[in-house]
Amino acid sequence: MPIQVPEALVASLVECHGTDGRVWAEGLPALAAATADRWGLRPDGPPAHGAVALVLPVRRADGSRAVLKLQRVDEETAGEPLALRAWGGRGAVRLLDHDPATGSMLLERLDPARSLLA
């Protein structure tokens, strides 16, 4: 799964985490490839990002659509998978899989036809 890390994400990671953020950003292509291989994912659209996470639209081995979210594990992000698992898709995106060691999360892919309220 070859990816190009958006420069805006690299800049944001450096702003938030300094040199550690840049080093982590440089490892994102390898992390994405290893995680995609482990979970049987293939790319399904251009990458997106927030302030500290890379978000990759993917297809699972069964053809279903999902999102691979890659973010550093720190005190701010460590609880996100636990919260998503607890909410179980009620008012939040569903967590499909999680790798605690890397912080990688496989998430339900949202679309404009479905509301989180439902």
Count CA atoms within 13 Å of residue 60 on its CB side. 13
Task: Note whether 83 and 98 are within 8 A (CB).
Answer: no
**Is the pLDDT assigned to residue 55 strictly greater than 90?**
yes
d(CA 46, CA 74): 26
Whether the model pTM is above 0.85: yes
Cβ neighbours of residue 115 closer than 8 Å, sequence gap 6 or more? none
**Is the pLDDT assigned to residue 117 strictly greater than 80?**
no
Domains parsed from the chain with CATH numbers:
7-108 (3.30.200.20)
Confidence (pLDDT) at 27? 94
Alpha helices in 41-107 (DSSP H): 80-87
d(CA 1, CA 37): 8
